[in-house]
Structure 1
C-alpha cells in the first residue's frame, strides 16, 4: 500500500510539472506571436512612412492621417511595454521595449500638440530605428522554434 501511494504521488507530481511546462511553452509561443505582430506593424509603417511623409508635405489630409497613425503607434508602444512576458523572453522583450522607447522619443520630439513637423521627421533617424527594431524579429523567431 505504501509503495502504491509513493508511486501515485510521484506520478501525480510528474503530471503536474508536465502541465506547468506545457503552460510555459504556450505562454512563450503566445508572446512570440504577439511580439512578432507588434514588430511587423512597425515594419509595415516603416515601409509606408517615407512616401507618406513626402505626400503629407503638400497634402493636409495625408498629414492628418500621418499624425493619427503616429498617435496610434505611440499607444501601441505603451501597450506592448505592458505585455506579460515569460521568463525565457525577458531579455528579448527588454531589447524590443528599449528600441520602441527610442522610436517613441523620436516621434514625440518631432510633434508639438499632436502636430508633426514633417521636415524634422523626414530628417530624423526614425526609419533607422524602425529597421533596428524589425531586426529583432529574428531573435523572436529563434525563441519560437
Structure 2
C-alpha cells in the first residue's frame, strides 16, 4: 500500500485540502492521474483517523476493502484526548502502518507543528491558514506528483 497523508491540528484545513486534492467528500475511491499521465485508483478518507475514532487495524481493513493500492488520509499530530492508546499520535499510526508493509510515500504537515513524520517525502505548509485553499492544494499536488 502506498500512502499519502495530511497531518495537522484541528482546523488546519486537512479535510478541505483532501477534498480539493481528491474530489472526495467523506471517503471513496477516486480516479487520479500523476503529473506524467499515469492513472491510478486512490482511496481517500477526509476525516482525521483520531477524530473519527478509527484504529490502525480498522483503517487497514477499510482500505483493503477498497482494493486500491494508494490511499490519501489525514491525522492529528497528537493522540485523541479520550483514549491515546486506541487513537494514538500521527507517528504511532504511521509506524504501525509501516510495520504492516505500507509505504508512506508523501506527508504534508499543515500549520506550524514541528512534527517530522516517517515518510519518503515531507513538505511543511506553516502558513496554510493564510493562503487560499487552491494555492495550498496546488503545492500539495506538485509535492505528491499528481495532476
- Return the structure number with greater helix share: 1
Q: If the length of structure 2 is used for normalisation, what is the TM-score?
A: 0.27
- Return the structure number with greater strand share: 2
